[in-house]
Each structure stands twice: as structure tokens, then as C-alpha cells.
Amino acid sequence: MRRLQTGRGSSMRITLTWKRHCCAAGASILLIALPLTGLLVGCPPAPIEIGDWHDLHAIRDNLGGSYVLMNDLDSTTAGYTELAGLGANQGRGWEPIGTSDAPFSGSFDGQGYQIRDLFINRPDQDYVGLFGDISWVRHIDNVGVIENAGVVNADVTGGSCVGALVGHNGGIVSNSYSTGSVTGDERVGGLVGWNQHTVRNSYSVASVTGNREVGGLVGETWYQGGVVSNSYSRGSVTGSSRVGGLAGWNRGVLGNSYSTASVTGDERVGGLVGYNTGTVSNSFWDRTISGMEESDGGTGRSTKEMRDIRTFTNTAAAGLDEPWNMSAVAASETDATSIWNVVDGQAYPFLSWQSVG
């Protein structure tokens, strides 16, 4: 950063030449009208790089910061044993980033890298996940954002609002995914436990177990701004009441999503949604794999139909008001111009940012 000085009331012409590596893609430069007495020329602060578990843990010291993951983290990465392993914190494992009193309000870009082997054992604690709480949207500049993040082989246990990636989401989760197991009491989801804002272009193949509001992707989506779009779940879901393959209780807006998760529950159980008091559109579940003939929202299809592009693009078919943004691709190929890809007739649809379906 350097300051250009001029005399009082004077004016000057400045030509700014962009230099590679000066500013990150999408960064903005503020130009101040002249005359002026001083001008600051420079770039916004660079995101903080996360290279090990110590770096990840330090996010809680600056919850409004901007972060980027620089490599995979797993059980062999520095800091795992004392921060995220079986013996960490007297057997309680990872301490979630952000609480209801001090939520995460910054940005985290996983850059496609994975956070593996996360262990959390906090059955008496609410807001549990890699991130415990992402700030609820009160002002647009306080939105917490998590994108391009993968939590793989997670073992997460909590009380209420439990997810592998986020316990409570009041911000934006996009292009993210989870695998492993998630266990809790209520509002338990494979990726997000309680969603009060946006989950989009994401998926989970986790095994999810809970009591109430249990879903393969999200446990509960809230009625004030809660949205789930262009997402899917596989894996398994087990609970008591309000249990769904994708969402246990949808009180918000759910669209262009599907589930192939196996589902088991006692009451208000559905292949896609267990209990719906919101809006569900253009969404499907696999009746065969889920073991469910019913859902409180969405349309059930056979496994063969779930692998057929016409199910998602032919608006003459039942349950589809608008075609999905989907392209047919050859095996091991992707088409990034569409949100969804499918190897027609051979596999379920997958998100185009995934390397494989």
C-alpha cells in the first residue's frame, strides 16, 4: 500500500495498471474523485491460508476473517492428534468453530481440498460440526460463507443442530459435501443440522442417525429464508420423527434436489422430506433404494427413472414444472456449463463441479 500526496485542492490524473498476483480474482479497487489530499492505492487483504489443523483451529480467534484451504487435512497433518483426533480435548475431539454467542461471519474457501478424519464426540453440546454456527443474516456484510469444502470420513456426534460441516447455518454453504457418520438428537443432517439461510450445489453421502428432524443433507430448513437448491443426498438416514432422505423437516424452500438415501423412521417419514410445511418443487427420490413409497413433498421414481435425463428435463413428466440445468455427458467427463451432469441411463445425476458422478 502506498500513499500518493498532492497539494491542498489540487487535482491529478492516475492510471492504474493491473499486475498479476496483485489482487485476487474478483477483488475491487476504490477510485476516489479528485481533488484530493491523499489517495491510498492497493489491494484488499489477502485471505489467510490454512495449511494444518493449528491454522484451522485459529479461525476461532478471528471469526470475521477470510480463509482459504491450501491442501488436504487428515490424521497425518500437524495438529490432528491434539485438536481433532480421538484423544483430543479429553476424548471430545474437535471444538467446533463458532458458537451461538460468537458465530463465524467470515468466508472459508476449501478450494476443492478435503478435511478428512474429523472426530467430534459432544453429545451434550448443541451447534456441532466442523463449524458450529455460521452467523444468521441480519446485515448483508455479516453473512458467513463456506464454499468448495469437503468433510470426508467424519465421525460427528452432538446434541441439537448437528452436521458434518455446519451445525447451524445462517449464511451460505455452496459446492460442499460430506461423507462419514453424523449422530445427534434433533436437527441432525449429513451436511448441515439446522439451515436458516442457503445450502446450494452441495451433497452428502453420510450415514445420519438422530431422534427428531433428521435428514440426509439437512435436518431442518427454517421458514424465514431457509433454502436448499440443486443438492442431493445418498447414504442412510435413521430417526424417530420427521425423518427424510434429504430433509427431516422442510419449513422453507426446497427445489431441484433429489435423494437416494435409505430411510428408516417411526412417524412423519419420507423418501425426500419427512415433514413439509414449506415449499418443495422439481425434486425427486428413489423409491427403490430409499425403501419409501411416500414423502411429504417431491415425486418418487424408480432407480431406472432416476438415471434417465428425461426425469429431470422433460416438463411433460409428473413432478417437473421447469427443466433442471442439466447436460448428458460421457463416463468420466463433465460439462461445467451446466449445474448438473448425468451419464444418461447409467448413473444418478451429479454436480458439474464434481470430478466424477
- How many of the other CB atoms lie within 10 Å of CB of 356? 11
d(CA 14, CA 308): 58
Provide the grid cell at 311: 426425469
C-alpha closest to that of 207 among 230, 185, 234: 234
C-alpha closest to that of 353 among 344, 337, 343: 337
Centroid of chain to Cα 343: 24
Predicted confidence at residue 1, as pLDDT, reads: 36
- Residue 63 contacts by C-beta under 8 Å, 6 or more apart in sequence? 97, 98, 102, 103, 104, 105, 106
Residues 232 and 207: beta-carbon distance below 8 Å? no
Predicted confidence at residue 258, as pLDDT, reads: 99
Taking only the tens place, the pLDDT of each residue in 151-186 is: 999 999 999 999 999 999 999 999 999 999 999 999
DSSP category for residue 223: T
Predicted confidence at residue 17, as pLDDT, reads: 40
Predicted confidence at residue 45, as pLDDT, reads: 81
Question: In 128-260, which residue ranges form alpha helices assigned H by DSSP?
Answer: none
In the beta sheet, which residues pair with residue 219? Answer: none
Q: pTM, whole model, 2 decimals?
A: 0.87
d(CA 73, CA 109): 14
Q: How would you write 195-220 as a 3-class SS string?
A: ECCEEECCEECCEEECCEEEECCEEE
Question: Whats the size of the chain, residue-wise?
Answer: 357
d(CA 132, CA 11): 51
Predicted confidence at residue 95, as pLDDT, reads: 99
Predicted confidence at residue 224, as pLDDT, reads: 80
In the beta sheet, which residues pair with residue 67? Answer: 48, 108
In the beta sheet, which residues pair with residue 228? Answer: 199, 254
CATH topology classification for 48-306: Pectate Lyase C-like (2.160.20)
Taking only the tens place, the pLDDT of each residue in 95-105 is: 999 999 999 99
d(CA 270, CA 265): 9
CB-count exposure of residue 217 (10 Å: 0-12, 13-18, 19+): buried
C-alpha closest to that of 69 among 61, 59, 60: 59
Residues 176 and 138: beta-carbon distance below 8 Å? no
Within the chain, which residues score under 50 in pLDDT? 1-41, 138-141, 357
Residues 195 and 224: beta-carbon distance below 8 Å? no
Q: Could you give the residue range(s) of every CATH 2.160.20.110 domain in the chain?
A: 48-306
Taking only the tens place, the pLDDT of each residue in 40-80 is: 445 668 999 999 999 999 999 999 999 999 999 999 999 99
